[in-house]
């Protein structure tokens, strides 16, 4: 049974690859607009499911996978009740990093596993607390100049240069990168995937 990662994120691919998973990647773009009054956990779960279904439609059209599990995820950063998406400009990145400086924030990831072709779906989420040290203005400027904040929720990547700003985390480190690895593995097993089973589903 194939694994399909419904993401163009190099970080999610890196997590799976380093953990020994064999997979193919399919980019599934969806509208990421936040609904009015939507809670962070509902937001990431909704987008993860939408990405999984979009990827499954691509597989159906191309006929590239008749037996697979699609993995899709969406991650967001929340501080003081404000959802921080991906910065759209250097000024936006600076605002986000100044907001995170010296505070603890939450990182939410929603994950959807969609089995093809029978459509069995599992959607779950994970949350990690991350405590930032105070970041000086020149440190923020240097970090923005590196280009690393862009394309990342909250304007930072814990696995890169921003790691120097992290005092502590409470929860899954990989969740902050974009995919709660141990939970994903456990849920894959529940949905019938196994590294030893490549041809048939367990439909029990």
Task: List active site positions.
Answer: 74
Size of the chain in residues: 204
* CA gap 80, 42 in Å, rounded: 17
* CA gap 156, 100 in Å, rounded: 10
β-sheet bridge partners, residue 88: none
Q: Which helix (H) or strand (E) holds 78?
A: strand 68-79
> Which structure tokens are listed for 172?
């899954």
Q: Which pairing describes strands 24-25 and 2-5: parallel, antiparallel, or unpaired?
A: parallel
Q: Which helix (H) or strand (E) holds 13?
A: helix 10-18
Measured CA to CA in angstroms, residue 24 lies from 16, 17, 68, 138 at distances of: 11, 11, 10, 40
């Amino acid at each position: 049974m194939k694994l399909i990662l419904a993401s163009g994120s190099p970080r999610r691919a890196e997590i799976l690859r380093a953990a020994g998973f064999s997979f193919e990647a399919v980019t599934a773009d969806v509208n990421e607009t936040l609904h009015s009054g939507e809670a962070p956990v509902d937001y990431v779960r909704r987008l993860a499911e939408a990405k999984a279904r979009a990827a499954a439609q691509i597989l159906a059209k191309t006929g590239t996978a008749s037996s697979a599990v699609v993995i899709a995820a969406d991650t967001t950063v929340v501080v003081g009740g404000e959802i921080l998406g991906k910065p759209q400009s250097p000024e936006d990145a600076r605002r986000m990093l100044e907001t995170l400086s010296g505070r603890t924030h939450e990182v939410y990831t929603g994950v959807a596993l969609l089995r093809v072709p029978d459509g069995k779906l599992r959607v779950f989420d994970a949350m990690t607390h991350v405590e930032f040290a105070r970041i000086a203005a020149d440190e923020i400027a240097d970090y923005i100049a590196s280009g690393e904040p862009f394309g990342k929720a909250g304007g930072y990547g814990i696995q890169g240069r921003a790691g120097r700003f992290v005092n502590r985390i409470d929860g899954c480190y990989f969740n902050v990168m974009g995919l709660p690895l141990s939970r994903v593995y456990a849920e894959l097993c529940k949905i019938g995937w196994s590294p030893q089973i490549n041809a048939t589903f367990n439909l029990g």
